[in-house]
Amino acid sequence: MTLNSSLTNFASWQQQAEQCLIQSDYYKAAIIYEQAIEAEPEVKSHYWHLGLMLLLHGQEAEAQTTWLMAMMEGEPEQIELWNEELALILEAEAERRSALADRSTAYLLRHHLGEIQRKNVNNLLHLIQLSIELETFTGDELASWEIIELLRSKQPGKVDVNHLMQVLQLVLDCDPLHPLSRDFAEACLLHLEHLPKYFAVVLVAAINVAYSLLQPAQAVKLAELCQRIDAEDLELLRHLAAFYQNSGDYTKGIEIAKKCYSLLKPEALSDRVFANHLMLRGLMYAGGYREEAQKVVELQESLLRELVEQQPILNDSAQISRLLISTFFLPYLRDDLKQNRKIQNQVAALCQSNLQNYANEQAEWYKKRRSLVSKKLDKLDKPLKIGYLSNCLRQHSVGWLARWLFEYHNRDRFEIYGYFVNYKQKEDPLQEWYANQVNQAHKMGIDSREIAEKIYQDEIDILIDLDSLTLDISCEVMALKPALIQATWLGWDASGIPAVDYFIADPYVLPDDAQNYYSEKIWRLPQTYIAVDGFEVGVPTLRREHLNIPSDAIVYLSAQGGCKRHPDTIRLQMRILKAVPNSYFLIKGLAEEEAIKSFFHRIANEEGVDSDRLRFLPMVRSEAIHRANLSLADVVLDTYPYNGATTTLETLWMGIPLVTRVGEQFAARNSYTMMMNAGITQGIAWTDEEYVDWGIRLGKDSALRQKIAWQLQQSRHTAPLWNAEQFTQQMEKAYREMWQIYLDT
């Protein structure tokens, strides 16, 4: 084939070839460039374009050969210039392909551009972006393409900082846990520290890593990058304190919380409340700092009383949500139903008022729906829409306990909706099990208004909150009142939020006069507020000889987190240990290891107990193994004023005698109601002296222990605590009665 007469100059060749390129006729375009080379062999751009057409036609090896042959005869200066020419051609076509959303071709072109210009940072950024969009990114490319080293070098070339910022966000969204993602973010800091968006992007990624991926230690590493920009940013310090505490570095978490508090002005009352709460949080979870924690909680109450008195108008939703959980630790420090509920109800009412004012249009719309909803009696026969709102429908204490209700629900009479707050982006079989148990599973994030709107759009009749004050997001949702009827169950005591209609309890877990102190209507189920059909039990990993405990010794156990370790109760436990010869005390639970050991050793010494009789057990890899290891104990000693809940159920299921001290508040009566509903009264103490007496008696009386173990074994067949199907029927009956009351009013 000879050159057409119209192809008399380069411009016309180029025009025709580009038209072929646009029409994806790469073969014809290649022929045109071959003819151009024949006519003008000294024009190198013909070779660059010919190679491009061959590459697009799938002839990758031929394209590379074409480019290489064209450069073989040049001097180094010429070759450098020709590389620049070829790079411009490849980049122009890559940009065109990206504009057409042809990412695969754009990636191919930029890959070859990278072979020519290995230190072209901007091209590497495009490659990262394209690989993420093509879902081929593994994170290892950050090393193989050497972009981190290039960004760290003093002269990486002119970096497009806006694109760098965009790619950083993509990397942190795609795989924030990859070991190189943090290194990449650190390298980007050298170029982006002047951009406020860098701070926000990295902090949001850290929050996601901490709470959605449950990796707080990795979140700390990201958040510490933000510290290099502004070490006194209050929002950063709030999150960083929590990250440290959640990762087990309580000392650092307390230190950061104290710094946050010290930076606040006296008039910033609501912020001071939360910063002080963060200090208290670290001290409580660490365990062993009760004296300091007591001083901090006294300050907290003083700040809260001042806050309630002022009734401030708060226009920051984050500020409101932080206040919602600021009363959380009061039940851990004292058993004072009246005072604890009073301040909790007051703060919750203040927060709801501010939240509904902040989201006024949304709250008013929900209120309008409630006033317009049809109240025909025939609606009683329709399947009720029950929504369950929680962050804990996963491998968590709430997740292990609530599953029986979900399993036994009558799907003919109830439509079940699950609202998974901050759905966990990690493998969790129990979380997936819950998602498969509901008619509609909404895997939500942390936007409370978005969650509330989804509940509203689903027209939920009864919304059950399983989180209460353990999670501010769930509290915010409840305060907006997106459902017709709202109730709190299982996860904690009632929140005190006025928009919550009911708190589901039973005859034992709250005293008879409790309604005087609750803003919610207490709905008492006839027997128990929780029942399970049992627990999975693994193979024990601990034996007495592993712990240097004689086979004939009496072994006491307490398995609770550091926040439940009250010094007064520990003193009672030491009195029991002192009175029972050849006895040992196993202590297990999340806490700061050295602090909790020092705490127990100090009290043991003060009570005249040899600290060699104390054993501190490590955490184990699964709940099933934890339950199996409970068989080490002869007697379990409960905590007070905050009892065990899941741990109590596990203890009773394993047939182990339990000593519990009953109080007035919900947290101090969990073990009591569970023992009553298992048919066991031996071990229930109403005073400190009874607690000690029961502990000593059960330690010395092996026949009594055997009797209780036998009773617990038999109770599996008859007791309400182990009849989840019957419990579910009682819950469903309560739902129908709640709905009837709503229709009648």
DSSP 338-396: HHHHHHHHHHHHHHHHHHHHHTHHHHHHHHHHHHHS---GGGGGSPEEEEEEES-SSSS
CB 647 within 8 A of CB 587: no
Q: Could you tell me how many residues make up the chain?
A: 745
DSSP string, 117-149: -TT-HHHHHHHHHHHHHTT---STHHHHTTHHH
Torsion angles phi and psi, residue 446, rounded to 5: -120, 15
E strand or H helix at 596: helix 593-606
CB 393 within 8 A of CB 402: yes
CB 61 within 8 A of CB 72: no
Is 419 strand, coil or helix?
strand
Q: Which token pair is 130?
A: 């394209």
CB 341 within 8 A of CB 503: no
**Residues 272, 275, 279, 285, CA torsion sign:** positive
Is 726 strand, coil or helix?
helix
Distance CA 290, CA 278 (A): 15
Name residue 415's beta-bridge partners. Answer: 385
Tell me what pLDDT residue 157 has: 67
pLDDT in tens, 565-600: 999 999 999 999 999 999 999 999 989 999 999 999
End-to-end CA distance of the chain, in Å? 91
Tell me what pLDDT residue 642 has: 98
Distance CA 658, CA 644 (A): 11
Give the up-direction half-sphere exposure of residue 652: CA atoms within 13 A in the CB hemisphere: 35
**Distance from the Cα of residue 519 to its chain's centroid:** 29
Strands 658-661 vs 684-685: parallel, antiparallel or unpaired: parallel
Q: Who's near 628: CB < 8 A, 6+ residues apart?
A: 537, 538, 539, 540, 541
Q: How many CB atoms lie within 10 A of CB 98?
A: 19
Q: Who's near 69: CB < 8 A, 6+ residues apart?
A: 47
**Residues 649, 662, 504, 480, CA torsion sign:** negative
CB 26 within 8 A of CB 17: no
Distance CA 129, CA 166 (A): 9
Spans of the chain, pLDDT less than 50:
1-7, 375-378
Is 619 strand, coil or helix?
coil
Distance CA 245, CA 222 (A): 15
Angle at 247 between CA 181 and CA 249, to 5 degrees: 115
Torsion angles phi and psi, residue 439, rounded to 5: -65, -40
Tell me what pLDDT residue 365 has: 87
CA distances from 613 to 361, 399, 554, 663 (A): 62, 35, 11, 29
Tell me what pLDDT residue 364 has: 86
Q: Which token pair is 369?
A: 């729906």
Q: In this structure, which amino acid lies at residue 150? A: L
In the chain, DSSP finds a helix count (H) and a strand count (E) of 33, 13
Distance CA 113, CA 109 (A): 6
Angle at 696 between CA 693 and CA 697, to 5 degrees: 80
Q: In this structure, which amino acid lies at residue 647? A: T
Strands 485-488 vs 462-465: parallel, antiparallel or unpaired: parallel
CB 117 within 8 A of CB 85: no
Distance CA 459, CA 485 (A): 11
The reply to whether omega before 618 is within 30° of 0 (cis) is no
Distance CA 736, CA 387 (A): 14
CB 677 within 8 A of CB 528: yes
Tell me what pLDDT residue 665 has: 98
Distance CA 169, CA 200 (A): 10
Tell me what pLDDT residue 17 has: 84
Nearest by Cα to 492 from 421, 407, 391, 420: 391
CB 662 within 8 A of CB 656: no
What is the b/e burial string over 110-130, where b = at least 16 CB atoms within 10 angstroms of the residue's CB? bbbbbeebeebbbbbbbbbbb
Distance CA 176, CA 169 (A): 10
pLDDT in tens, 222-273: 999 999 999 999 999 999 999 999 999 999 999 999 999 999 999 999 999 9
Tell me what pLDDT residue 315 has: 87
Tell me what pLDDT residue 380 has: 56
Q: In this structure, which amino acid lies at residue 19? A: Q
Distance CA 285, CA 422 (A): 22
Percent helix / strand / coil, the chain, rounded to 5: 60, 10, 30
Nearest by Cα to 338 from 103, 122, 554, 511: 511
The strand order across the sheet containing 384-390 reads: 440-443, 414-420, 384-390, 462-465, 485-488, 502-505, 521-524
Strands 384-390 vs 614-616: parallel, antiparallel or unpaired: unpaired
E strand or H helix at 585: strand 583-588
Distance CA 504, CA 491 (A): 11
CB 479 within 8 A of CB 473: no
Q: In this structure, which amino acid lies at residue 630? A: L
Is 693 strand, coil or helix?
helix
